[in-house]
A and B are shown apart, each in its own frame.
Chain A
Amino acid sequence: MLRFILTRASLLIPTFLGVTLLTFLLIRLVPGDPIEVRVGERGISPERLAQFRHELGLDQPLWKQFLDYIGGVLSGDLGTSLVTHNPVLQEFLTLFPATIELAFMAMLFASVVGLPAGIVAAVKRGSWFDHGVMGLSLTGYSMPIFWWGLLLILLFSVNLGWTPVSGRLDLLYYVEPVTGFMLIDTLLVGEYGAFWSALEHLILPTVVLGTIPLAVVARMTRSAMLEVLGEDYIRTARAKGLNSRRVVGLHALRNALIPVVTVIGLQVGTLLGGAILTETIFSWPGVGKWLIESINRRDYPALQGGVLLIASTVMAVNLLVDLLYGVLNPRIRHAR
Chain B
Amino acid sequence: MPLLDIQNLSVAFSTRAGTFRAVDGIDLQVDEGEVVGIVGESGSGKSVTSLAVMGLIPSAGTVIADRMSFAGTDLRTLSRSQRRRITGKDVAMVFQEPMTSLNPCFTVGFQIGESLKVHEGLSGRALRHRTIELLEQVGIPAPESRLSAFPHQLSGGMNQRVMIAIAIACNPRLLIADEPTTALDVTIQKQILDLLVGLQRDRGMALILITHDMGVVAETAHRVVVMYAGQVAETRSATELFERPRHPYTGALLDALPERALGRRRLPTIPGVVPGIADRPQGCLFNPRCPRAQDRCRAERPALLADDAGRARCFYPLNSQSEVTA
Contact = CB atoms under 8 A, between A and B. Distances in A.
Contacts of B51: 235
Contact of A237 (B103, B104, B163): B103
B85 A241 contact: yes
Contact of B103 (A239, A241, A251): A251
B163 A236 contact: yes
Interface string B1-35: 00000000000000000000000000000000000
B105 A254 contact: yes
Interface in B106-145: 106, 114-115, 118-119
A328 B106 CA distance: 11
A255 interface: yes
Contacts of B115: 240-241
Contacts of B54: 239
B113 to A, nearest CB: 11
Contacts of B187: none
Size bin of chain B's contact surface: 20 to 34
A331 to B, nearest CB: 5
A331 B104 contact: yes
A16 interface: no
B176 to A, nearest CB: 9
A241 B150 contact: no
B251 to A, nearest CB: 34
Determine the main DSSP class of A at the interface with B: helix
Contact of B106 (A231, A240, A243, A254): A254
B56 A232 contact: no
B88 A242 contact: yes
Contacts of A331: 104, 150, 152
A310 B106 CA distance: 37
Contact of B118 (A231, A233, A242): A242
Nearest to B152: A331
A241 B87 contact: yes
B93 interface: yes
A251 B150 CA distance: 14
A258 B101 CA distance: 18
B97 interface: yes
Contacts of A236: 95, 101-103, 163, 166
Size bin of chain A's contact surface: 20 to 34
Contacts of B105: 254-255, 258, 328-330
B197 interface: no
A242 B106 CA distance: 15
B101 A233 contact: yes
A258 B89 CA distance: 31
A236 B169 CA distance: 14
B87 A239 contact: yes
A329 B150 CA distance: 11
Interface centre among B56, B93, B95, B101 (most CB of A within 10 A): B101
Given A231-B100, A239-B93, A240-B118, A330 B84 contact: no
A298 interface: no
B97 A232 contact: yes
A314 B175 CA distance: 53
B56 A238 contact: yes
A334 B114 contact: no
Given A330-B150, A331-B150, A331-B152, A241 B101 contact: no
A331 B103 CA distance: 11
A6 B296 CA distance: 74
Contacts of A251: 103, 106
Contact of B114 (A242, A255, A330): A242
B84 A232 contact: no
A18 B159 CA distance: 46
A330 B104 CA distance: 7
B97 to A, nearest CB: 6
15 contacts: A232-B100, A232-B101, A233-B100, A236-B101, A236-B102, A236-B103, A240-B88, A240-B118, A241-B85, A241-B87, A241-B89, A242-B118, A251-B103, A331-B104, A334-B153
Can you list the 9 inter-chain pairs with the closest CB atoms, starting with the nearest?
A241-B88, A240-B88, A232-B100, A241-B87, A233-B103, A241-B84, A330-B150, A232-B101, A254-B105
